[in-house]
Structure 1
Amino acid sequence: MKLFLYFLILFHVIRFSEASEKNETKELFGKDVTAIPETLKDKTTEVFFVDSQIAAIPKGAFSKNPQLKSIEFSGTVTSSIEEGAFEGLEHLNVLEISDTQVASLPVGVFRDLTNLHKLIMKSNNIEKLEHGLFHDTKNLEALRLQDNKISTIEEGTFDPLENLLELNLARNRLNSITSSLFSKLTKLKIFRLYENQLTSMPDGLFHNLPGLKEIAIHANQITHIQPNLFPHKNILTTLYLDNNHLTELPPEIFEGLSALKRLKLNHNRLNVLPPVLFKGLQKMTELYLNNNNLTSLPAEIFQSMRQLKKLDLSFNQFSTLSADYFVGLKTLSELNLGNNLIVSLKSEDFTNLQSLSTLRLDNNKLRMISQEVFDSLPKLKRIFLHNNTWYCDCNLLPMYDWMKKNQDKIMSSFEEVCEYPQHLNGQSVTSLSEDQLICSTTTVPTTTTSLIITTTSVATTIMAKTSLAYNYTIYHFFTYNSFCYNNHHFYPYHCIRNHSDYYIINHLLFYNPTYDNHNNLYHTRKFNYSTHHYGNKYTADNSNYRTIDYIYSFNNYNHRNYKP
């Protein structure tokens, strides 16, 4: 980067040196220079020291070059700047001292810089700003002090800077500030205080700064914000509150910020949003709510945001969605719902998003997506679907067909692969053929077993005896605490119990059952069970088990045995 900067500056030096009609020149000094030259060329107005070996900037260093308009030190070994170092430079407009070892700025160091408009002192080791430091820089418009080690700013330090438009104190070590510290900066438009160690914002901090257009206080440790912190009606366009420790927001905190376009609330600890939180934010174009703890949203919470283009809700705890969440978002083009817990989508969930072109659904718990969901998004161009729990059976066919026809729209980082059934686990969805997505046919061996189902007040009892290939049926049972089965591979029997590893069994799924009316039997060859904790678990299938001799179940340890 420094090499690039060196050649960039060199290019400008040569270019402007040749442009004699401009009557001004730039001079560049590189790493071989160990001291500041006493005199420069008569017409030199800009001077650059890049990677120079200049250890100190002495008093009156440029006093014989009063014509200078711009001075820059970048990447030099400079560790000290003496008081009066720039005296006599009444025409200086720009001063930059960056990427050096400077640790302190003595009062009087900027003496005589009455026409200085831009002061950049980033990426140094400055620890403290003293009262009186900016006494002579009353016309300063931009002050950039980011990436230092500033932990202390004395009261009144910024008071002379009544014309300041931009203040950058980001990436320092401030852990507290007072509301009076910036009270005289009435013309300030850009305020950046991000990546410090602040835990709160004092009352009235911005009340004397009515012209602010950008406030960036992200990446601190702020736990709460006062309702009236932002009194910038019709002015503020950008607000960054992300990467803090906020757990809630006052309902009226954004009231009246009708010019706000970009709002970042991501990477906080928000659980609930007030229904009126975004009321009146008609000009909002980007909203970031990702990386919070949201499980739901109030109905019509975004209704005022008629110009919203991008909405990020990723990395939250949503398990379901509602069409009411997205009322009013007629212009939304990008929606990120990735990395949530969404299990299913209803056909109407996205009906209010007729302009949506990019949709992220990756890293959820989706099993399938219906054709109606895709049909509700007429302008969809990009969709991310990877890392979901796709159930590759006949219910996936509509989604499978859509994916085959719209592969140019699928922008996933990884292939969409099957989670279930077990024999398709890990296989790419689009690599399958339609006849693999089945719910009805299965190959059964000649060994037969039978299954009888009876229900008592104590337990539901199952008995096995033969199997044929027919459509599967799901039987739901209430309060199945455990069941056991016996076959030629397990002796005397194998039990699934409701201990620490399993919960109440929801249902048994019988594959290809038939009903024997004469003997009042259900015949099956394969079954599985489902629990609240682990989902589907196979207990018998064609490849691993043979004849099931008997199955019994019990509740509260009162059990009954049945044999074929």
Structure 2
Amino acid sequence: MVWVRVVVVVMCGVGVVTASFYPPECPPHCNCTKPSEAVCEGGAIPLLDPRITAFEIKHTPQPIPTLNTDITSTLQHLVSLQLDSIGLTEVEGGALSAMDRLHTLLINNNNITTLRAHTFIDCSTLTQLDLRSNNIKVIENGTFEPLVGLRNLSLANNALTSLPQHLPRGLLVLDIEHNLIASLNLLPDIHLHSLNLCHNLITHIDPSQINLQSLKVLCLGGAAFNLESSMGGIKSLWGVQQLTLQGTHSQPLHIPLDIQAAIQNFTRTSLHTLQLDSCSLESMDILNQANSSLRSLRATDTTVPMTRVRSAKMKLPSIAILDLSGSPLLAKLFLTPHHSTPMLHLKVLKISRCGIKSFQESFLLSRVPNITDLDLSHNPLQCTCYGMTWIPNYVREGRLNLLQELTTTCAAPPHLNNIPLLTASMCPIIATTSPPIPTTTTTTATNIPGLSFISLSPVTSTSATKEYSNTTTTTTTTPGPSISTTTSTAREHSHATKQPLGSSYNKTEVTTGQAKAESGTSGLAVLLASGVLIFVVLVLVVVVVVLFCQHTRNYRRRGFSGAYNRSRASLDSDSVVIMDSSHDAGTTSSSSHGFGGAD
């Protein structure tokens, strides 16, 4: 019937609404920040609700040495799986084929030394594979060949000496940082967009081995890498957007002038992010580019000859992120007004470990007026009243975010040594003369016949907390004239609070406000869910009542119609009988009249 279908549809709607407002139950030892995600720490792999599609487990007390079908058969509904620090040593062949919806697999910080050729059979849906920090030494040829849909592969922080053969042709991102790879296999048919070769045994890059023209992100460097022998490859990076060059603390990566000139040309075309870590520059020209489109520059632990700094200029008009941490000469160049131009687009500035003693507010207003994040950590800051107090004030007002605030400490004056800048009291308290204390006078009169004494005793009033005790009244009777004396003894205790030397920054109010806001938001969501559910139930009740009334009305209408017809037929038959009786009576009457007339 129609009303039964309507009830079924409404009930299905109620079920959908209820399921959307009531998320799946979070397993024990897990944190479910989103209804479809579960992050578990400790314990075994739990039984998951089928509505959970992303699962992460880490730091299990008992190691899980093998990922087999007994485990993966209970995780068939997952789209993302992350296994971190669970003691895994082997992935059983064909175990992942049971998870036919899996797109992302991350196995990190385990002890998998070998990947077999049958490990990833029937895993065509996998698009991201992250195997970092697993001590992998051997990858059999053809291991990644079944992964026809793989786009992102990370093998960083392992012990590989070479790359496996037959990488997926659709691969876009390859990360093999921190391995023992000495030479690259031929990869001309793979159009990579991102390639990380940093910190291997590779000495140079050859354009004939790698398709460099398709690269957007590239990381080069390490103890054995030589940029001078890679000049041909560097000049082929016309489309690169993010370039990272890394050396080591013991052996900085030397960047010659011709490489710097090539990088400068890239900044005018496509390069917008440049990262130089533990490098050695021959000139400062890379920081003086009026037509540069560079938006992010990180030159950390980078050295430059002193003779180049004196006459150098820093001009980066489009820069938004600048990180000069560990590069004191570059930081000095930046903080010298006549050596740098205003950077109106700069938002993030990091100058930690640069020996900086002060950062003036006038410099911020004139050179970097739009800065939002500042890092001054690990510097010997001089926390004076008129030099650094503006930073805590800006932070309180929400105009500035101080990064690494716990390690942004004062070095002077001595009484503020190792105290965080945001809590240091940099301005002393100036004592002010308190106003005179008002006094009142009580009059005590002693009546002696013939004499009258009036004693005046001052009583001091104070705003501090007072405690009165031991108040006694003594009446002395003598044979002569009577003298009545009242004596009051009071003790006053002033509870003074110790005023801090300066202002301190506390985030408790911000945290409390956020907690109240989150509590109000969750309460509003529960109230909204309850309101929607009540509304749906009321609609269902109204629909059922309307349908029932309509059905009852139709039934009664049919019953009344039959009764009316039967009573109408009965009335008709009675009228016919009456009419026949009347006709007979009329006929008899007429006959009687006729006989009378005849008589």
Q: Structure 1-normalised TM-score? A: 0.50
SS in 1 for 2:260: coil
Q: Alignment RMSD, CA only? A: 5.3
Question: How far is the alpha carbon of 1:119 from its aligned partner?
Answer: 1.5
Where does residue 507 of structure 2 map in the other structure?
none
Aligned residue in 1 for 2:225? 222
Alignment partner of 2:89 out of 72, 76, 79 = 79
C-alpha displacement of 1:242? 5.3
Aligned CA distance change for structure 1 residues 67 and 309 (closer, same or farther; 3 Å): closer
| Partner of residue 167, structure 1 | 174
Report the structure number with the largest CA radius of gyration: 2
Cα 1:163–1:272 shift into 2, 3 Å: same
Query: How far does residue 262 in structure 1 lie from its aligned partner after superposition?
Result: 3.0
Q: Does 1:284 align with 2:295?
A: yes
Which of 263, 270, 284 is residue 281 of structure 2 equivalent to?
270
Displacement of 1:204 in angstroms is: 1.9
Higher relative helix content = 2
The residue number in structure 2 matching 1:11 is 32
Q: Is the contact made by 1:59 and 1:83 (CA closer than 8 Å) also made in structure 2?
A: no
Deviation at 1:274, TM superposition (A): 5.1
Specify the code of the residue in structure 2 equivalent to 1:191. L
d(CA) in 2 for partners of 1:42 and 1:303? 56
Unaligned 5+ segments in structure 1 are 17-24, 344-349, 360-378, 391-399, 419-427, 432-564
Contact preservation (8 Å) 2:341, 2:367: no
**Equivalent in the alignment of 2:141:** 131
**Equivalent residue number for residue 414 of structure 1:** 410
Aligned counterpart, 2:494: none
Q: State the secondary structure of the residue aligned to 2:32.
A: helix
Which amino acid is 1:164 matched to? Answer: L
Q: Does the C-alpha gap of structure 1 residues 416 and 74 become closer, same or farther in structure 2, counting only changes over 3 Å?
A: closer
Going from structure 1 to structure 2, the CA distance change for 1:76 and 1:252 (only over 3 Å counts) comes to: same
Work out whether residues 332 and 353 of structure 1, in 8 Å CA contact, stay in contact via their aligned partners in 2: no
User: What is the CA-CA distance between 1:136 and the residue it aligns to?
Assistant: 0.7
Contact persistence 1:110–1:137 (CA under 8 A): yes
Q: What is residue 124 of structure 2 aligned with on the other side?
A: 114
Partner of 1:204: 207
1:268/1:29 CA distance change after superposition, 3 Å = closer
Using the TM superposition, give the Cα deviation of residue 106 of structure 1 relative to its aligned residue in structure 2, in angstroms: 0.3
- Unmatched tracts of structure 2, length 5 or more: 1-25, 393-407, 415-424, 429-599
Query: In the TM superposition, what is the alpha-carbon distance from 1:109 to its structure 2 partner?
Result: 0.7
> What does 1:171-320 align with in structure 2 at a 5 Å threshold?
172-178=178-184, 180-186=185-191, 188-194=192-198, 196-198=199-201, 200-204=203-207, 208-217=211-220, 220-225=223-228, 226-227=230-231, 228-229=233-234, 231-233=236-238, 235-237=240-242, 239-241=244-246, 243=248, 245-249=252-256, 250-254=259-263, 255-257=265-267, 258-273=269-284, 280-288=291-299, 290-295=301-306, 296-297=308-309, 302-303=314-315, 305-310=317-322, 312=324, 314-316=326-328
Post-superposition Cα deviations, 1:2-53, rounded to whole Å, max 9, x if no partner, equal xxx986745379x55xxxxxxxx989896456xx99xx98888666665254
The CA distance in 1 between the partners of 2:411 and 2:54, in whole Å, is 56
Asked if the contact 2:325/2:351 (under 8 Å) is kept, the reply is yes
Inter-partner Cα distance in structure 2 for 1:146 and 1:98:
10
Task: Return the offset for 1:105.
Answer: 0.5
1:415: Cα distance to partner? 4.2
For 1:341 and 1:120, the matched residues in 2 are separated by 39
Task: Give the AA of the match of 1:131.
Answer: N
1-side partners of 2:318 and 2:49: how far apart?
A: 58
Distance 1:136 1:61, change over 3 A: farther
Looking at structure 1, the residues matched to 219 and 365 of structure 2 have their Cα atoms a distance apart, in angstroms, of: 30
Q: TM-score, normalised by structure 2?
A: 0.48
Partners of 1:43 and 1:329 in 2: CA distance: 49
The number of aligned residues is 366
Alpha-carbon separation, structure 1, partners of 2:223 and 2:243: 17
Q: What CA distance in whole angstroms lies between the structure 1 residues aligned with 2:74 and 2:150?
A: 23
* C-alpha separation in 2, matches of 1:68 and 1:319: 49
Structure 2 match to 1:326: 340
Change (3 A) 1:45 1:206: same
Tell me the SS of whatever aligns to 2:174.
Answer: strand
